[in-house]
């Protein structure tokens, strides 16, 4: 019994490993020359950068966290999170609602007053039921925190108005703040939010891609790279997969690749499915690499909500994840920019984007551009799922079609859900709980 897994990112290699532990014969087909997907890393001139954006290892899910820690074995280090929001030229404690006393006094008052006003309205039952992401932000945090940080930051990263985004994804990803924490924060009493990531892990060597290779180690001989799937069809109970030259046969397939890559490979796709797929929105990502002479900021990463502060929405100080990502005496920094085809960023070449980011970071005093000794960039076409108001309706149409075909979907862009690394691994574990154990044919 052979199972073909489409895609060799985090989800695909985890599937292969766990199926292998169940004695199932698997083959992973990966389009790129290297496995990893969004968890790839590059090593250039002694610097290591995560080319799919900044990743850290954390989770509330103890089983998943234990799995990631165990596969990395000795190649793992732990750091205390020190994360900021860059707001009006100040580094404000993250999450923003835990750093209210650091704001200008009028802004602190606005945030606290609007939070209390909203809280009273909700307790009296006078608040309207949230129907959009923007509604949800205001009903949970108040206009102050919403307008000063959460709305501009989210619109910067999603490239979409928050009033045009659904609520589907919010629960569990954007926690509602405890009332006492908001008040403590406003009067200057130290509070800590998102405690599940207050201590995070990261590979000592190899960047985040080291996690992928550690997971893939037992099944590395069952992974075929540079295989771009062009057609998938079913012949009776068997699947026939082709890249136009080489054909692969399978008893079953599991897709972890983007829906936008999977659907065009199939025959007789209904027009309504094609239309629904075309209306599923996502963002692409440019990661800008900066190698710097000397030490860098002490922070883990910084969120940048203001458009006036540059194109990047987040800057990660990778040398504070592991000192081995840069040569001695140097530092590695990663800036992230989301974009859509047709917008300003997509029309810029890599040289222009890198120059823009370095200039912006120099003006903000994040770096001294005279100390930049290396720069580079990487683009990822599929980075963030965008939950527009039509999201659930369109996704339902696509998933129904694939379910009827018998193609399971596991992972971030296959399920078309905004899943972190731990959630991708959890999606594998949950899928395997429901999947019958395959028994090899007996002679």
DSSP conformation letters of 104-150: -HHHHHHHHHHHHHHHHHHHTT-SPPP-SHHHHHHHHHHHHHIIIII
**What's the domain count of the chain?**
1
Burial class (CB in 10 A: 0-12, 13-18, 19+), 264: middle
Task: Judge whether 178 lies within some domain.
Answer: yes
Task: Judge whether 199 lies within some domain.
Answer: no
The closest alpha carbon to 376, from 75, 131, 121, 45, belongs to 45
Task: Judge whether 11 lies within some domain.
Answer: no
> What pTM was estimated for this model as a whole?
0.95
Backbone φ, ψ for residue 58 (5° rounding): -160, 165
How does DSSP classify residue 160?
S
pLDDT surpasses 50 at 94: yes
| Cβ neighbour number for residue 317 with a 10 Å cutoff | 24
pLDDT at position 6? 98
Taking residues 210-224, what's their average pLDDT? 98
Q: Which domain holds residue 118?
A: 96-191
- Reported residue count of the chain is 443
DSSP letter string over 68-100?
Answer: HHHHHTTS-EEEE---EEEETTEEEESSGGG-G
pLDDT at position 194? 74
pLDDT at position 363? 97
> Cβ neighbours of residue 404 under 8 Å, at least 6 residues apart?
none
Q: Where in 160-225 does DSSP place strands (E)?
A: 199-202, 223-224
Task: Judge whether 168 lies within some domain.
Answer: yes
Instruction: Give tens-digit pLDDT for 337-388.
Output: 999 988 999 999 999 999 999 999 999 999 999 999 999 999 999 999 999 9
Task: Judge whether 104 lies within some domain.
Answer: yes
**Distances 188 to 101, 158, 180 between C-alpha atoms, Å:** 5, 31, 12
Whether the ω angle into residue 73 lies within 30 degrees of 0, i.e. cis, is no
Instruction: Give tens-digit pLDDT for 150-194.
Output: 999 999 999 999 999 998 888 766 767 788 888 888 988 888 767
| Paired strand residues for 339 | 284
The closest alpha carbon to 115, from 140, 96, 85, belongs to 140
Angle at which helices 421-434 and 62-72 cross, to 10°:
110
Instruction: Give tens-digit pLDDT for 101-145.
Output: 999 999 999 999 999 999 999 888 887 889 999 999 999 999 999
Angle at which helices 133-145 and 151-158 cross, to 10°:
140
pLDDT at position 126? 84
- pLDDT range class, residue 442, cuts 50, 70, 90: very low
Task: Judge whether 134 lies within some domain.
Answer: yes
The closest alpha carbon to 18, from 426, 440, 442, belongs to 426
Q: Quickly tell me which residue has 């001695």 as its tokens.
A: 328
Q: Is 147 left (phi over 0), alpha (psi -120 to 50) or beta?
A: alpha
pLDDT surpasses 80 at 443: no
Q: Quickly tell me which residue has 């997969």 as its tokens.
A: 241
Task: Judge whether 267 lies within some domain.
Answer: no
Task: Judge whether 111 lies within some domain.
Answer: yes
- pLDDT range class, residue 439, cuts 50, 70, 90: low
Are 47 and 326 in contact by the 8 Å Cβ rule? The answer is yes
Instruction: Give tens-digit pLDDT for 301-338.
Output: 999 999 999 999 999 999 999 999 999 999 999 999 99
* Burial letters 284-297, b for 16+ CB under 10 A, else e: bbbbbbbbbeeebb
pLDDT surpasses 80 at 420: yes
3-state secondary structure of 387: coil
pLDDT at position 195? 75
The closest alpha carbon to 195, from 298, 81, 101, belongs to 81
Burial class (CB in 10 A: 0-12, 13-18, 19+), 141: buried
* Rounded-to-integer distance, Cα 50 and Cα 290, Å: 12
pLDDT at position 377? 98
């Amino acid at each position: 019994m052979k199972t073909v897994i489409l895609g060799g990112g985090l989800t695909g290699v985890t599937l292969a490993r766990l199926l292998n532990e169940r004695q199932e014969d698997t083959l992973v087909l990966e389009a790129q020359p290297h496995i990893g997907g969004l968890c790839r890393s590059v090593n250039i001139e002694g610097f290591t950068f995560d080319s799919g954006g900044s990743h850290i290892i954390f989770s509330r899910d103890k089983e998943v966290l234990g799995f990631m820690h165990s596969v990395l074995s000795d190649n793992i280090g732990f750091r205390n999170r020190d994360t900021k929001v860059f707001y009006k030229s100040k580094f404000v404690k993250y999450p923003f609602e835990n750093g209210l006393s650091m704001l200008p006094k009028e802004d602190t008052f606005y945030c606290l007053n609007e939070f209390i006003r909203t809280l009273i309205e909700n307790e009296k039952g006078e608040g309207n039921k949230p129907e959009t992401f923007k509604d949800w932000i205001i009903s949970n945090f108040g206009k102050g925190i919403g307008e000063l940080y959460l709305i501009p930051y989210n619109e910067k990263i999603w490239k979409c108005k928050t009033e045009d985004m659904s609520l589907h994804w919010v629960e569990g990803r954007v926690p509602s703040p405890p009332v006492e924490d908001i008040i403590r924060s406003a009067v200057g009493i130290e509070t800590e939010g998102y405690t599940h990531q207050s201590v995070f892990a990261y590979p000592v060597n190899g960047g985040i891609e080291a996690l992928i290779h550690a997971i893939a180690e037992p099944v590395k001989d069952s992974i075929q790279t540079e295989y771009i799937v062009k057609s998938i069809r079913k012949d009776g109970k068997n699947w026939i997969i082709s890249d136009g030259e080489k054909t692969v046969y399978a008893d079953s397939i599991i897709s972890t690749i983007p829906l936008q890559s999977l659907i065009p490979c199939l025959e007789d796709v209904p027009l309504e499915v094609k239309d629904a797929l075309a209306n599923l929105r996502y963002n692409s990502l440019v990661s800008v690499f900066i190698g710097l002479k000397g030490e860098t900021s002490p922070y883990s990463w910084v969120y940048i909500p203001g458009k006036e502060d540059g194109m990047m929405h987040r800057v990660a100080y990778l040398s504070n994840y592991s000192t081995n990502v840069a040569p001695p005496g140097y530092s590695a920094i990663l800036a992230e920019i989301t974009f859509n085809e047709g917008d300003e960023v997509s029309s810029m070449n890599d040289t222009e984007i890198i120059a823009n980011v370095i200039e912006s970071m120099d003006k903000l005093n994040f770096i001294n551009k005279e100390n930049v000794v290396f720069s580079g960039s990487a683009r990822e076409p599929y980075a963030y799922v965008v939950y527009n108001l039509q999201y659930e309706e369109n996704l339902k149409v696509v998933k129904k079609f694939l379910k009827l075909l018998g193609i399971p979907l596991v992972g971030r862009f296959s399920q078309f859900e905004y899943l972190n690394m731990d959630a991708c691994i959890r999606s594998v574990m949950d899928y395997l709980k429901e999947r019958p154990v395959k028994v090899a044919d007996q002679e």
